[in-house]
Amino acid sequence: MPDIRYVCLSDLHLGAESSVLSRLGEDGVDVRTAAPTLSGLVDCLGELISRNEDQTTRPTLVLCGDILELALSIENVPAMVFERFVDLAFPDGGRLFDDTIYFVPGNHDHHLWEGSRERQYADYILDPKEAGKDLKPPWHTTRMLALTDPDPIDTVFLNAVVRRNPGRADMCVRAVYPNLAIPSADGRRWAVIHHGHFVESLYRAMSVVRDLVFPGRTPPAQVWDWEAENFAWIDFLWSALGRSGEVGESLGVGYDSLKSAKAMNQLAANLASGLAAKRRSPGPARWVEARVLRLVLQSLVERVAAQERRDPTVALSPRAEKGLALYLEGPLRSQILGEAPDNCPPEEVTFVFGHTHKPFVTQRTPSGYGRRVDVYNTGGWVVDTPRPAPMQGAAAILLDEDLNAASLRLFNQSGDGRPTRAHVQHAGVSDNPFSARLAGMVDPDAQPWSGFSSTVAEAVNERRQRLCDSLSDLERPPAEKPAWT
C-alpha cells in the first residue's frame, strides 16, 4: 500500500498575527505556547503518518516558503513560533519526520535564502582548492535535485533555531531555491516544488522595468537570471523593510490598509497631504499638488494591493494563469532540461506551489512538456481580508514513494464562519491509489479532524474581527485642514 513519503507545507506565516497558526496574546503573538491550531495540524498529520505500513522510514518534510513572517515581524517572534512547531513535530524520542528538512524560500522569508547564499559563498572563498584563483560571482540558485546534491546548503538561521534543543543537534534544514525537484526511482516522474511568487509579475518587477526601458532586449529565460534581477527587490520589500524599527511598524499599518479600499485611499490621501505640506509652493499650488500626488499614490498602492491572493472569485486569475504558464514553459523547463541526468527529462511532472493562499488541484498543458502537468496549490494560513474569502484556505500536499500526489484540504474560510470539512483531492481523472487510501483515512466527523476544523474556524473568525477593528481605525480620516496651511 502507498505510504506518505513527503509532506509539503507552505505559507504558514508563523509569527504573523494574521496567521491562524500563531497564538495570540494580549500584546501580540504569544511565542512561548503553541497555538491550538498548530498542535491540531501536527496531530492530523501524525494520524495519517502513524498508519504508514513502513514505520522504519519517516516522511521528509518540505517547507515551501513563507514559513516565517519576516515582512512584518522582528526575527525573534517568528523564530520562536517556528520553534514551537519543531517541538511538536520533532519531540524527543518520537519524531514525525526525517531529520533533514528541505526549505524552499518564499518572498516573506526570502532573507533566509540570502543569509544562506552568502554563507555558501564565504565557504567557497575559504575553500583551499580556490586559493589564488579568480573568484566566481555568487550563486543565485541551487541545484534543483537537492536530495542528491553533493554540496548542499544549510539554512543557517533555521538550523540555529532547530538546534537550540541539544536533542536536535543531528537535524538540519537544507535550503533549495527556487525549485526543488524530487525524482521517482526510475526518473520518469518528477515532483517540482516552488513557493510560487514568480508566478506574479509583481515579484519580477525589476525585470519588467528593464524590459520597458530597453524594449529590444531578450527577456531572461533562466531562473538564475529571474532571481539575479529581482532578488534585491524581493528581499527589501517582503523580507527586510518590515523589520526596520519604527519604519517597519509603520509599514505594517500600511500593509493593513491595502486590505480595505477605503483605508487604502485614506493612506494615499495622508501621504499626499504630508508630502505637499513639506513643499514651499504657494497655497493654491500646494493644494493642486496634493490632489495630483494623491492620484499618483493611489495608482501605485492599488498595483501593490492587487496581489493574486486578494482576488476572491477564482482559484487563479487570468493574469496569474499567464504567469504560471510563463514560469513553467520558461525558467522551470530550462532548469529541468539543464539538470536532468543523462539529458533525459522526466516524462511526467507534478508542480507544487503556494503563495496565492487559495488551494486548488488541476492540470495544465504547458508547451515543452510531453504530457499534462498536475498542479497542486497549498493555499495559506492567514486571514487578510475583512470579509469571508471562501476560496482561501490551506492544504498539505502529500506524496508517496512513486510520487503519486494528494491534496489534504485542511480548511477553507466559510461565508458563515462555521467549520469546513477536511477532505482529500487529486489532480486529473485517472486512478490514484495513494489519494484513495488517504481519503479512506480522513473522517471529517471524527477526531482529530472535527476538532481541528472547529479550532481553525474559531481562529479565522477571531483574526477577521481583529482585522475589521484595525481597518475601522485606519479608515477614519484625520482632522481635515487645507494642504496649504
Q: Convert the pLDDT of each residue in 209-223 to its tens digit.
A: 888 777 777 778 899
Q: Is the pLDDT of residue 480 over 50?
A: no
Rounded CA-CA distance 10/107 in Å is 12
User: What was the pLDDT predicted at 215?
Assistant: 79
Q: pLDDT at residue 483 above 80?
A: no
Q: How much of the chain exceeds pLDDT 90, in percent?
A: 69
- Worst-scoring range by mean pLDDT, 114-118, 122-126, 256-260, 390-394? 256-260
Q: How many CB atoms lie within 10 A of CB 95?
A: 16
What residue spans define the domains of the chain? 6-237+307-469
- According to the model, what pLDDT value does residue 17 have? 93
Least confident interval from 190-194, 301-305, 379-383: 301-305
pLDDT at 249: 53
What tens digit of pLDDT does each residue of 195-205 get?
A: 999 999 889 98
- Digit-coded pLDDT (tens) for 131-170: 999 999 999 999 999 999 998 999 999 999 999 999 999 9
pTM: 0.88
pLDDT value at residue 482: 45
Give mean pLDDT, residues 72-79. 90
Residue written as grid cell 500626488: 293
How confident is the model over 228-270, as pLDDT tens digits? Answer: 999 998 998 887 766 666 545 555 545 554 454 554 455 455 5
Q: What is the CATH number of domain 6-237+307-469?
A: 3.60.21.10
Question: Given a cut of 90, is residue 379 above it in pLDDT?
Answer: yes
